Amino acid sequence: MIAAMVTACTSILIAIMAYWLNHQGETRRSLREARIDRVSSQLKDLYGPLLVLTETNEKAWREYCRRYILPIGVGPTEIPLPELEEARWRMWVEAVFAPTAQKMRDIITARGDLIIGGEMPPVILEFCAHAATYDALLANWDGVGPSKSTLIRHPGNRFLSYVRESYGLLKAEQALLLKAAREVGRFEFNQSAR
């Protein structure tokens, strides 16, 4: 009778442990899948499009500077642009720089919940403020002062670096998460095959 009680208790204890271990495994799997989904969404919905637009805008700006802007120290400063250069600058702002900046701002405002970390990075806020000033510039182009520029300057390389680094960190994390998920899946498959 004691042997039967020990056997029954052992069976119950083994069942409880199996349930607990299975529950723990399912919890870890669910958390891992949620993290993979979050990182994938950050890449697909925010940092991926932002990187493409940022890199595109950067390349366009470098090319514009290379072709049309005199190096610093060459030529007069604070002199209004000649009419042809003014028209060229206006065309580039209206067709390239402003639309791209506004698309990036729209992505950030629509998917800001996917930003890495607990707070909005200051460089993102600086960029959004810069992009917002294009609205006023384009609405009153003829009334703008001699610089014909946005009121708030682009944060420059800090913004580009932030987007590149964030995308790179997320891609690396995604690769690690997917590798770990594959290894767990392989382990679970091997265990079930036995």
Listed by start position, the domains of the chain span 35-72+79-193
Q: Which is higher by pLDDT, 19 or 192?
A: 19
Q: Which is higher by pLDDT, 109 or 70?
A: 109
Backbone angles phi, psi at 29, to 5 degrees: -65, -45
pLDDT at 124: 97
Q: How many other CB atoms sit within 10 Å of the CB of residue 182?
A: 10
Q: Which is higher by pLDDT, 43 or 18?
A: 43
What is residue 137's three-state secondary structure? helix
pLDDT digits over 48-65, tens only?
999 999 999 999 999 998
Residue range 84-89: mean pLDDT, rounded: 82
pLDDT at 158: 96
Backbone angles phi, psi at 146, to 5 degrees: -65, -25
106 near 45, Cβ under 8 Å? no
Q: How many other CB atoms sit within 10 Å of the CB of residue 85?
A: 12
pLDDT at 29: 79
pLDDT digits over 105-144, tens only?
999 999 999 999 989 999 999 999 999 999 888 888 776 5
Contacts by residues 48-54 (CB-CB < 8 Å, ≥ 24 positions apart)? 48/167, 49/107, 50/104, 50/107, 50/108, 50/163, 50/167, 51/163, 51/164, 51/167, 53/100, 53/103, 53/104, 53/107, 54/104, 54/159, 54/160, 54/163, 54/164
Q: Which helix (H) or strand (E) holds 21?
A: helix 2-41
Distance of CA 69 to the CA centre of its chain: 31
93 near 133, Cβ under 8 Å? no
